[in-house]
Amino acid sequence: MGLQSWYDAHVVPRVIRKLCGSEVIMDRRAEVVPLASGRVFELGCGGGLNQRFYDPARVTAFAGIDPGAKLLDYARDEAKRRGWATDIRDGVGEDIPFASGSFDTAVCTFTLCSVADPARVLAELRRILVPGGRLLFLEHGRSPDADVARWQDRIEPLWKPLAGGCHLTRPISGSIAQAGFAVTPIGARYAPRMPRIAAWMEWGVATAPG
């Protein structure tokens, strides 16, 4: 195993769990995740950070995927602590291993930044949702401020190998809309106490065509 592979397997999962579990991020998760209902699919479920926010009275079934073995361990451990039935699998968003129309809600939090092909992932999310199903999203990405965006462009090549392939420059709501979803924003702002190059967040509800 090369140094980068070792770093990705052993260091990145801990870094992600720490940073994505910060107080400000968890506050945003608490605003988005409880909106999930029915049969729920979570993209990038590794880490299990969202599980505490699902409303058991609203969620009838839960499934999720993640490509990270250590992150999947965290997610499965969290499910055991909660004592709820889940279908948590290894997988990638470009090829979601569930049938079309399997879910009422999809949840995607801080995941689109690191997938290989965001357009294909969004097409897959649309595929697995029922007509009129909802995608709940909370993502960080390209800043609307030109000076910050220029720094994101400069720093991203150095940032990606340290942050598990995370991109700083990907647009969020616009990309989701281009995938055919009707986007209803909930919020958009910089996370406090974070460098602005990595702090721009957007969250909301995107409805699949129906």
How do strand 182-190 and strand 87-90 relate by DSSP bridges? unpaired
> CA-to-CA distance for 78 and 47, rounded, in angstroms?
8
> CA-to-CA distance for 166 and 202, rounded, in angstroms?
16
pLDDT tens string for the chain (210 positions)?
A: 576 776 566 666 676 777 676 888 999 999 999 999 999 999 999 889 999 999 999 999 999 999 988 889 999 999 999 999 999 999 999 999 999 999 999 999 999 999 999 999 999 999 999 999 999 999 999 999 999 999 999 999 999 998 889 999 999 999 999 999 999 999 999 999 899 999 999 999 999 998
Widest CA span in the chain: 47
Q: For the chain, which residues make up each domain, given as ranges?
A: 3-207
| pLDDT of the residue at 23 | 87
| pLDDT of the residue at 207 | 98
Its CATH class, for the domain covering 3-207, is alpha beta
Tokens of 114: 């690191």
Determine if residue 16 is left, alpha or beta; phi over 0 gives left, psi from -120 to 50 gives alpha, anything else beta. Answer: alpha
Q: Which among 186, 164, 155 has a CA at the least distance from the CA of 173?
A: 186
Bridge partners of 182, per DSSP, are 207
How do strand 103-109 and strand 182-190 relate by DSSP bridges? unpaired
| pLDDT of the residue at 1 | 59
| pLDDT of the residue at 15 | 64
Contacts of 142 (CB under 8 A, 6+ apart): 149, 152, 168, 169, 170, 171, 172, 200
| pLDDT of the residue at 3 | 67
Q: What's the start-to-end Cα distance of the chain, in Å?
A: 47
**Model-level pTM greater than 0.75?**
yes
